[in-house]
Amino acid sequence: MATRKHDDDLFADSTMTFGEHLEELRTCLFKSLIALVAFSLVGLLMGGYVVEFIQAPLVKALSTYYETQAGEASPDGPAGLSEFVKKNHLLPQKVFVDPDEVICQLRQLDPERFGNLPVANRPDSKSANTPTLPAADVEDAKPKNIKDMIPLLLWHPTADDSRIRAKSLNPHEAFVIYVKASLLVGVLLASPYIFYQIWSFVAAGLYPHEQRYVRVFLPFSLGLFLAGAATAFFFVFEPVLNFLLAFNRSLGIDIEPRITEWLSFVLVLPLGFGISFQLPLVMLFLERIGVFDVQSYLSKWRVAILVIFVLAMFLTPADPYSMLLMAVPLIILYFLGIGLCKYMPCRRSPFDE
């Protein structure tokens, strides 16, 4: 039986050329694209629900913004009104009325009930009980400025206020948003298969004793991605929006959000969180294949924190609040990754020597 020379590569049969790697990448991308298209077609059936769901954080933040603004604008009022407004989530609309015009309108609508109301400044020709003014005084009866009118607050539910809903600026924008929402559903549903293809491509470039890590890391990678996306949607959106809207309020700037810009925000932030949450798994993988060790991670923790803040700056919108909300969990995940490298059992390869 032929024997292998001492300096032969034990894994020569498992090596791939650059062209073979490109072919493997093309195959994985094509399969991922097919899965994405298939699940996006499923997403078309629920696009409307998704659009409503992704607007929930924005609607809640805008409701808080305008309710707070209304409370600051009118802190005084009848006893118990403030508690009633907060409890029922009401917003005011300030209007100015001319009292004489109101009386005239009431007398026209129901002369039997309001025919005896005195009119101080304005005649009502349609009512027999209405005192008339000389023609020369008619112009004098009209209010000269807004001070002659009475300000009133008309309250309506916050949910009925048009300002808390995202706007579209052209007729086809709603259709584009519906398609994007369907694609979002497709990405979520196809993500397990897409992650499988990504790790399959990574495994194709590894030695046989290293490929077993791919089978172990795949479910953890998917779980971390979904955990990062969920963290962004359920725990980051609301405080970030409240911070940004409060900053607008401090500058006296009202906001009128567009649905297209909001959807882009919804897509970018969870995607950035999902990718960044792969950090401990990547650290463990690099440690297992011998690129780094635990001592390297520990000795470079200051550099790692700096890199985390730089990455958080690029993966989040241009505000310090969202950057901190990403950087702090990543720092925790970095030290969690060190713990995994140190305490997770490692099977030694028979070819280590």
Residue 165 DSSP label:
S
Residue 147 DSSP label:
G
Residue closest to 155 by CA, chosen among 69, 70, 245: 70
Long-range CB contacts (< 8 A, 24+ apart) of 175-179?
176/260, 177/51, 177/259, 177/260, 177/263, 178/47, 178/48, 178/51, 179/47
- The pLDDT tens digits for 185-235 are 888 888 888 888 887 787 776 667 666 767 777 788 888 888 888 888 888
236: tokens are 């980051």
- The pLDDT tens digits for 284-319 are 888 877 888 888 899 989 999 999 999 888 878 767
pLDDT at residue number 98: 80
pLDDT at residue number 78: 54
Integer Cα distance of 94 and 146 in angstroms = 13
Residue 232 DSSP label:
I
Q: What angle do CA 258, 274, 271 make, to 5 degrees?
A: 25
Contact (CB, 8 A) for 303 and 293: no
SS3 256: coil
Asked whether the predicted pLDDT for residue 260 surpasses 90, the reply is: no
Mean confidence (pLDDT) of the chain: 77
- The pLDDT tens digits for 322-343 are 888 889 999 999 999 998 888 8
For residue 125, name the pLDDT band (cuts at 50, 70, 90). Answer: very low
Cβ atoms within 10 A of the Cβ of 78, count? 7
Integer Cα distance of 257 and 267 in angstroms = 16
Integer Cα distance of 138 and 126 in angstroms = 15
C-alpha of 117 from chain center? 55
Integer Cα distance of 130 and 100 in angstroms = 12
pLDDT at residue number 193: 87
Asked whether the predicted pLDDT for residue 132 surpasses 50, the reply is: no
242: tokens are 């409240």
159: tokens are 């949910």
Structural element, H or E, at residue 152:
strand 150-157
Structure-derived torsion over alpha carbons of residues 54, 58, 59, 60, reported in degrees to the nearest 10: 110
Integer Cα distance of 128 and 70 in angstroms = 43
Integer Cα distance of 90 and 67 in angstroms = 7
Asked whether the predicted pLDDT for residue 126 surpasses 80, the reply is: no
Question: Which range among 65-79, 101-115, 209-223, 306-320 shows the weakest confidence by mean pLDDT?
Answer: 65-79
Residue type, 48: G
Q: What angle do CA 314, 50, 266 make, to 5 degrees?
A: 10
The larger pLDDT score, comparing residue 142 to residue 56, is at 56
Highest mean pLDDT among 34-48, 69-83, 105-119, 201-215: 34-48
Integer Cα distance of 74 and 313 in angstroms = 38
Contact (CB, 8 A) for 232 and 304: no
Residue 169 phi, psi (nearest 5): -100, -5
- The pLDDT tens digits for 133-174 are 444 444 444 555 667 788 887 888 888 888 888 888 888 888
Q: How far from each other are the two terminal CA atoms of the chain, in whole angstroms?
A: 24
Q: What angle do CA 284, 285, 288 make, to 5 degrees?
A: 85
Place of tokens 């603004």: 69
